[in-house]
């Protein structure tokens, strides 16, 4: 076994008194009472996006609009699905609770777990929802991930997130649908610091240019002009409906198991097995534990206690086994020696590469407006400008 568990790393100098975020988190600030800026961000989002009866009323209004715009078309909306907990519950909610006619869209980067595939099939069958799967060319998918590993940046799955966005917008344009439903949950998953997983098309292009060692033929980037076209000309709106319903706690898993025979992978994001390497790489190269974000979110919502979160952080994570790491590296075509050399190499962030971030910063206020109008994902503004 190489590397260290979090519990072997030096203790953080400071940790939030309410959640478990600590000073290894970039840009974190603490108030006079020791409460961190991420807890304050959560409280602001919680006020901006109500759940309960008020959230339900907002969702009903969205649903009415989608039904109206979907008239004489085969679908009211496109829903991104992975087979994991949050997207599965979202699809259930869209169909059963809101009575909409969704098209489910899944992006497969070659790392889908068998459980994820089973879950997707069971869910879509039971809900009678059509599933459209975009399968990424495997040699290209592998090379794109290896580019980001060689680049030495914290998040090695950026190109798949681009692939997901591309698949959703392409499906919406093809079917003439104006609504894309997302299911990121700031309550259940927390908000990740921008430095850990920033993505934009210019940044991704720079990574590919500098670090690809073989031609990439099938990747279709998502750049600013695509987003402007889809948002302002095609008027496609991205609605994060999870903001308006309570998706916290285990009742979600139990409902999915009961209604659909859905299977719990037991680990967040492990519908996509590449995440074992995403987490391992970040921990051993950058010394941060990605679990801190999600555990903190669960503490804020009262799903677990702060002590339970601290105990979980002190426990070796699931991806810390040679078997798991070697499986991932073998699939990526990387030797352990190459990987270890990259872990020891320089750490870089998106700020070391060309990106659209300076431009986005200059457009901060219009972006806030577009987020509030649900033309961009509703809490993208907070993520982009409040976590740095
Ligand atoms: Zn906190």
**13 contacts: CB under 8 Å, gap ≥ 6:** 22, 23
> Can you tell me the distance from the alpha carbon of 328 to that of 307, in angstroms, rounded to the nearest whole number?
32
Asked whether residue 154 is domain-assigned, the answer is: yes
The string of DSSP codes covering 4-42 is: --GGGSPPPS-B-SSS--BTTSTT--B-TTS-BHHHHHH
Strand order in the sheet with 237-240: 130-135, 102-108, 77-80, 179-182, 237-240
Beta bridge partners of 239: 181
pLDDT digits (tens, 9 = 90+) for 310-366: 999 988 888 888 898 999 999 999 999 999 999 999 999 999 999 999 999 999 898
In order of 101, 107, 313, the CA distances from 149 in angstroms are 39, 21, 25
Ligand 1 centroid, distance to 383 Cα (angstroms)? 15
d(CA 288, ligand 1 centre) in Å: 16
Reported as a pLDDT band with limits 50, 70 and 90, residue 2 is very low
pLDDT for 65-91, tens place per residue?
999 999 999 999 999 999 999 999 999
Q: For residue range 10-26, list pLDDT tens digits in order.
A: 677 899 999 999 998 98
24 located within any domain = no
Q: Is residue 162 part of a domain?
A: yes
Q: Which residue has the higher pLDDT, 9 or 226?
A: 226
* Count of domains observed in the chain: 1
Question: Which pLDDT value is given to residue 9?
Answer: 59
Q: Tell how far the Cα of 28 is from the centroid of ligand 1, in angstroms.
A: 9
Q: Compute the distance from residue 73 Cα to the ligand 1 centre, in Å.
A: 45
Predicted confidence (pLDDT) per residue in 165-216, tens digit? 999 999 999 999 999 999 988 999 999 999 999 999 999 999 999 999 999 9
Contact 283, 6 (CB under 8 A): yes
In a domain? residue 7: no
* In contact, 257 and 89? CB cutoff 8 Å: no
- What residues contact 114, with CB distance under 8 A and at least 6 apart? none
- How many angstroms separate the alpha carbon of residue 152 from the centre of ligand 1? 28
pLDDT computed for residue 372 by the predictor: 76
CB atoms within 10 A of CB 177: 24
Residue 279 lies in a domain: yes
List, in sequence order, every beta strand (DSSP E) within the chain. Answer: 77-80, 102-108, 130-135, 179-182, 237-240
Q: Are 383 and 194 in contact (CB under 8 A)?
A: yes
Residues with CB under 5 A from ligand 1 (ion): 16, 18-19, 21, 36, 39
Is residue 146 included in any domain, yes or no? yes
State in Å: Cα 154 to ligand 1 middle: 22
- CA 300 – ligand 1 centroid, Å: 8
Tell the residue number behind the tokens 């975009």, with chain if given: 134
34 assigned to some structural domain: no
Buried b (16+ CB within 10 A) or exposed e, 21-48: bbebbeebebeeeebbbbbebbeebeee
- 302 Cα–ligand 1 center, Å: 13
Q: Which carries the bigger pLDDT value, residue 129 or residue 314?
A: 129
Q: Confirm whether 195 is domain-assigned.
A: yes
How many Å lie between the centroid of ligand 1 and the Cα of residue 182?
25
Alpha carbon distance, N-terminus to C-terminus of the chain: 34
Structural domain including 170 reads 49-386
CATH of the domain at 252: 3.40.50.620
Kindly state the tokens that stand for 256: 């999915």
The number of residues making up the chain comes to: 388
């Amino acid at each position: 076994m190489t590397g260290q568990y979090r519990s072997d790393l030096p203790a953080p100098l400071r940790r939030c008194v309410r959640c478990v975020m600590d000073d290894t988190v970039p840009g974190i600030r603490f108030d006079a009472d020791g409460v961190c800026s991420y807890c304050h961000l959560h409280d602001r989002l919680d006020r901006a996006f109500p759940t309960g009866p008020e959230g339900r009323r907002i969702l009903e209004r969205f649903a009415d609009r989608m039904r109206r715009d979907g008239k004489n078309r085969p679908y009211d909306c496109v829903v991104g699905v992975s087979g994991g907990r949050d997207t599965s519950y979202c699809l259930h909610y869209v169909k059963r609770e809101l009575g909409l006619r969704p098209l489910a869209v899944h992006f497969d980067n070659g790392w889908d777990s068998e459980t994820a595939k089973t879950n997707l099939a069971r869910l879509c069958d039971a809900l009678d929802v059509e599933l459209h799967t975009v399968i990424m060319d495997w040699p290209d998918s592998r090379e794109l991930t290896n580019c980001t590993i060689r680049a030495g940046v914290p998040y090695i799955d950026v190109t798949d997130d681009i692939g997901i966005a591309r698949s959703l917008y392409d499906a919406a344009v093809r079917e003439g649908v104006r609504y894309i439903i997302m299911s990121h949950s700031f309550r259940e998953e927390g908000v990740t610091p921008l430095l850990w997983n920033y993505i934009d098309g210019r940044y991704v292009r720079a990574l590919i240019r500098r670090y690809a060692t073989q031609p990439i033929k099938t990747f279709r980037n998502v750049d600013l002009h695509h987003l402007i076209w889809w948002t302002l000309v095609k008027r496609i709106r991205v609605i994060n409906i999870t903001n308006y319903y309570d998706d916290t706690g285990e009742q979600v898993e139990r409902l999915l198991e009961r209604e659909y025979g859905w299977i719990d992978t037991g680990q967040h994001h492990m519908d996509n097995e590449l995440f074992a390497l995403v987490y391992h790489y970040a921990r051993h190269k950058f010394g941060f534990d990605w679990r801190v974000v999600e555990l903190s979110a669960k503490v804020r919502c009262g799903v677990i206690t702060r002590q339970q979160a601290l105990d979980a952080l002190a426990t070796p994570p699931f991806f810390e086994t040679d078997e798991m790491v070697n499986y991932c590296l073998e699939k990526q075509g990387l030797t352990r020696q190459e990987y270890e050399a990259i872990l020891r190499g320089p750490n870089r962030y998106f700020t070391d590469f060309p990106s659209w971030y300076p431009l986005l910063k200059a457009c901060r206020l219009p972006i806030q407006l577009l987020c509030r109008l649900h033309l961009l994902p509703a809490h993208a503004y907070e993520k982009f400008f409040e976590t740095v």
